[in-house]
Structure 1
């Protein structure tokens, strides 16, 4: 599937339903005043959080302090079954936001869904943001946070042998792909049993210098998705200006020349939007994992932009995304 340039490019053709909707998505122009931009999105996030209402019956929610390796701390969130029991899977999530905005609270809805549907302990972890904390600080923070949880999961009544999933959306999925690979390479315990990477950003340089030669003919989205609403190529360029990454570092991509090894990765659930400049990162990531014998589940949303389900919750595709989300985690946690 998606083995030809034509089949990949077709994914970037705007969904007709989206073309008829009038939604003012934040664009790259707003990033000129970063604090104002963050404030606007924080306000939107608080509205969405308020709309979710109080903690649902049967669940309990709490905050957790996460120590980073340089002595600074961050605050994560925990959602878990209220009743103490055994064999609660452990799910660790990282939030999205281009490495320069966002917080764990924006994952509250997903956390509640996963905790309720799978009787799981779900933890959303913090990391510091660029440009105040440029590369590799956000990535090292994510690693520190994961290691802390891997050494302290007993405090939350979690049982990783029932499932230990690491995942995230957008920037958070990039964290998951990077540190998931590192965790496996270092043979750490408890063993990660699955990864969730929704909208991963894995080939940061414009030339795609780390894209495997076998799949270079499919890496087309950077040149195709230039001026769509929301995340597009200019917006992506601004993200990189904030982050200032080393494109070839193993802290930036699992395709780094220093790592680039996928042969022992756990089963991986990937989600990709068709009208997204980082679309082909996820498609090629899926193919490389499969080439290395990894079990992979891929869901693609043709003609839809990065994180479309947040901007257009009323459309059928958004309902399908949430259904796929549940089915994907059911697959990840299957014995």
Structure 2
């Protein structure tokens, strides 16, 4: 699912990654679209994503998708798309919302997963990146606040942040998390990774030590870095 803070971006944004994934792993990939704020306020985007994931699960083995989700059903996204992946992974844990084929893995790239008010108490001392990187390039504290205002969100809703969910963390699927050192959202990913690990969930967290949203800053990516991610 694409990035853009729920106010920008398009379904074509991750098409190259989708094609590469299909080629490398002989996998069926689906780029999910969702409507944007401010025209479509919270939780419109979440419900769009929920409907799409349900459709994919129900039609996965039909000729159009021609997939075998029993081998793996991975949900992922970057930034706002990563938030959606995290929220939906918890959402579909509830017994009354179980998918035809369960989610077996997830990718969360530089995602907003909590607020200062929703950080679990034991992790509050480690939630520092929002202030440390308040003036970071590209994405900063002011941009986050403006995006939240445009989205007209509800920070306490389980549809906004996965930490608000009442489902069991230990039942989460294997998770791959990407964070950036200069990103205000860095500690969202690191703290959530630790929450999953403590609960016994298999995780892998990768940190870009120096930059924030590196690809927007024109960072050159080496073959070694690509291999590390894959």
Question: TM class, shorter-chain normalised?
Answer: over 0.9
Q: Which residue of 2 aligns with 1:312?
A: 218
Q: Which residue of 2 aligns with 1:276?
A: 183
Q: What CA distance in whole angstroms lies between the structure 2 residues aligned with 1:125 and 1:180?
A: 15
Deviation at 1:237, TM superposition (A): 1.0
Deviation at 1:244, TM superposition (A): 1.3
Q: Which residue of 1 aligns with 2:226?
A: 322
Q: What CA distance in whole angstroms lies between the structure 1 residues aligned with 2:167 and 2:127?
A: 18
Structure 2 residues without counterparts, runs of 5 or longer: none
- Give the alignment partner of residue 37 of structure 2, picking from 90, 105, 130: 130
Q: What CA distance in whole angstroms lies between the structure 1 residues aligned with 2:27 and 2:39?
A: 34
Q: Which residue of 1 aligns with 2:99?
A: 188
Q: What CA distance in whole angstroms lies between the structure 2 residues aligned with 1:255 and 1:272?
A: 17
Aligned 8 A contact 1:96 1:171 in 2: yes
> Aligned pair count?
226
Q: What CA distance in whole angstroms lies between the structure 1 residues aligned with 2:152 and 2:101?
A: 33
Q: Residues 235-254 of structure 1: CA distance to partner in whole angstroms, max 9, x if unpaired?
A: 11111111111101000011
Aligned 8 A contact 1:176 1:195 in 2: yes
Deviation at 1:310, TM superposition (A): 4.0
Aligned 8 A contact 1:222 1:278 in 2: yes
- Give the alignment partner of residue 265 of structure 1, picking from 166, 172, 195: 172
Counterparts of residues 5-44 of structure 1 (less than 5 Å): none
Q: Which has the higher strand share?
A: 1
The answer as to 2:197 corresponding to 1:290 is yes
The answer as to 2:49 corresponding to 1:142 is yes
Counterparts of residues 190-209 of structure 1 (less than 5 Å): 190-204=101-115, 208-209=116-117
Aligned 8 A contact 2:74 2:103 in 1: yes
Q: Residues 234-277 of structure 1: CA distance to partner in whole angstroms, max 9, x if unpaired?
A: 11111111111110100001111x52531101100000001001
Aligned 8 A contact 1:174 1:253 in 2: yes
- Give the alignment partner of residue 223 of structure 1, picking from 123, 131, 136: 131
Q: Which residue of 2 aligns with 1:152?
A: 59
Aligned 8 A contact 1:184 1:192 in 2: no
Deviation at 1:287, TM superposition (A): 0.5
Q: Residues 60-106 of structure 1: CA distance to partner in whole angstroms, max 9, x if unpaired?
A: xxxxxxxxxxxxxxxxxxxxxxxxxxxxxxxxxx1111001111101
Deviation at 1:322, TM superposition (A): 3.1
SS in 2 for 1:172: helix
Deviation at 1:211, TM superposition (A): 0.5
Deviation at 1:193, TM superposition (A): 0.9
Deviation at 1:202, TM superposition (A): 1.1
Q: What CA distance in whole angstroms lies between the structure 2 residues aligned with 1:321 and 1:225?
A: 24
Q: What CA distance in whole angstroms lies between the structure 1 residues aligned with 2:24 and 2:221?
A: 23
Q: Which residue of 2 aligns with 1:40?
A: none
Q: Which residue of 1 aligns with 2:9?
A: 102
Aligned-residue CA RMSD (Å): 1.4
Structure 1 residues without counterparts, runs of 5 or longer: 1-93, 327-335
Q: Which has the larger radius of gyration?
A: 1
